[in-house]
Amino acid sequence: MRHNTLQNVTILGSTGTIGKQTLDVISRHPNKFKVFALAANASVDLIFEQCLEFYPNYAALLNESAADQLAEKLKAAGSSTQVLAGLEAIEMLSSHPQVQVVMAAIVGAAGLKPAVAAAKAGKRILLANKETLVMSGNLFMQAVAKGGATLLPIDSEHNAIFQVMPQRESHNLNDSGIQRILLTASGGPFRKFSCQQLQHVTLQQALNHPNWVMGAKITIDSATLMNKGLEVIEAHWLFNAPADKIVVVVHPQSVIHSMVEYIDGSVLAQLGNPDMRTPIAYGLAYPERLESGVSSLDFMTLAKLEFEAPDTARFPCLRLAYDALKLGGTAPAVLNAANEIAVDAFIHHQIQFMDIPNMIESILSEAKIEEVTSLEQVISVDASSRLAAVEWVKRRSSNRMEATVC
C-alpha cells in the first residue's frame, strides 16, 4: 500500500532521543509527513524549538506548569500551535481522528495509556515504548486487534525480526517455519568486567554506551542487560513466541540487529549501522522504504563480527526478565516498576550498580502475582511495586552494606 497523501504524525516523547530522530527523518520528507502533534514531559525549551521548526497543530506536556510556560513562549513568538497539558490531553492527541501515525516513544509507564488509546483508535503505531508490552502485553495486543491498528516495532532488534519474518496472517512461529528468534545484544560497556569490577561501577561509566546514543534510563538498562530482558518480554507478545524460543546472543559490534532461525537451517539477519533512524524510517514508510540519513554499512572496514552467550551470573537482570515472563500475569509489570525505581535511584547516587538486580529480585519475590484483567489493575500493580521499591531504597540507604557479589 502506497501512501499518496500526507500522513499526520503525533510524536509522543518528542524531546527524547527517539523523538528527535523521528523529527530528523520526517524533515527529510516534507511531502510525505506532517507533524500534527508533539508531546513530552516538561522540556519547555526543546519542544518550543521543535514547534517553531515543524509547526504542529498541538503541543502537549505532562507537567502543567511547564505547559503554561510553553504556551506563553509560543504566544510571544507568534506561533499558532495550541498547547495542552496532562495525560488525558496526550491520550487525545494519540487517538485524534486527523492522525494516521503515532510514534509511541514516551519512556516508562507514562507511555502506556497513550499507546493503548492509539491502538483502540486504529492508528499506525510505531512502538518504541517497551513498557507498553512489558506491563500489559495481552491487553495491548487485544486493543491493537480490536481497534484494527497497525503495530510496527521500532526497537532495532524487534524491527529487525519483523523485517526478516514472513508477513503472514498467522502469528504462530510454527506456521511460519521459525525455529528460534535470536535477539542480539551489544553486551553494554561492562561486558568484560569481572564480578569485583561490577561492584564499583560509576554512573558516568554506565552512561557511556559503546555503540548507541540513547537516553539515560535505557542506557543504564543496556549496561545491566535489563534492556535485553525487557526486549525478550516484548518479543514474546509481538511474535507470539514462547520464552524458550527467544535466545539472546551477545554481539558487541551491533551490526546484526537480530536474526530469525528457520526450521530448514536458514538464519536470516537484518544488518546496518547502529542508528535508530533506520527502524524509524521503516516504520514511517512501511511497506515502502525511505532515505533515513543513515550512512551505508561498509563491509570492507568491518574487522570481525563476534558472538557469545550472555552471562546471567554477572548480569542477573536478564535472568530476572525471563523469570517474570515465565511467571506471567502481573510479574512483568512488577519487574518493570522495580527496575525504573532502581535505575532512578542509581542515577541519583542512592544505590550501587549491583543493587539494581538485588532490588528487582527482592520486589519480584515478595509480590503477589495475579492474572492481568484490566489496564487499571496494571497501573495499580505498577504503583504498589514502585512504593515497595522506594521503601527498599530507603532501607538500603540506611544500611550501607556491600552489594551482593555475583
**Residue-wise pLDDT tens for the chain (406 aa)?**
455 689 999 999 999 999 999 999 999 999 999 999 999 999 999 999 999 999 999 999 999 999 999 999 999 999 999 999 999 999 999 999 999 999 999 987 788 999 999 999 999 999 998 889 999 999 999 999 999 999 999 999 999 999 999 876 556 687 789 999 999 999 989 999 999 999 999 999 999 877 666 778 888 999 999 999 999 999 999 999 999 999 999 999 889 999 999 999 999 999 999 899 999 999 999 999 999 999 999 998 887 899 999 999 999 999 999 999 999 999 999 999 999 999 999 999 999 999 999 999 999 999 999 999 999 999 999 999 999 999 999 998 777 655 555 6
**What span, in angstroms and rounded, lies between the C-alpha atoms of 245 and 114?**
30
Residues 332/324, Cβ–Cβ less than 8 Å: yes
Cell of 95: 487517538
pTM reported for the whole predicted model: 0.91
**What span, in angstroms and rounded, lies between the C-alpha atoms of 128 and 25?**
15
CB burial of 286-295 (b: ≥16 within 10 Å; e: otherwise) equals: beeebebebe
- Its sign, for the CA torsion 57, 282, 177, 321, is negative
Grid-cell match 540507604, residue found: 397
Residues 50/15, Cβ–Cβ less than 8 Å: yes
**What span, in angstroms and rounded, lies between the C-alpha atoms of 111 and 91?**
9
What pLDDT does 247 receive?
Answer: 97
Q: What structural domains does the chain harbor?
A: 7-154 (3.40.50.720), 163-398 (1.10.1740.10)
Pairing type for strands 267-271 and 256-262 reads antiparallel
CB burial of 52-84 (b: ≥16 within 10 Å; e: otherwise) equals: eebebbbbbbbbeebbebbbebbeeeebebebb
**What span, in angstroms and rounded, lies between the C-alpha atoms of 378 and 370?**
10
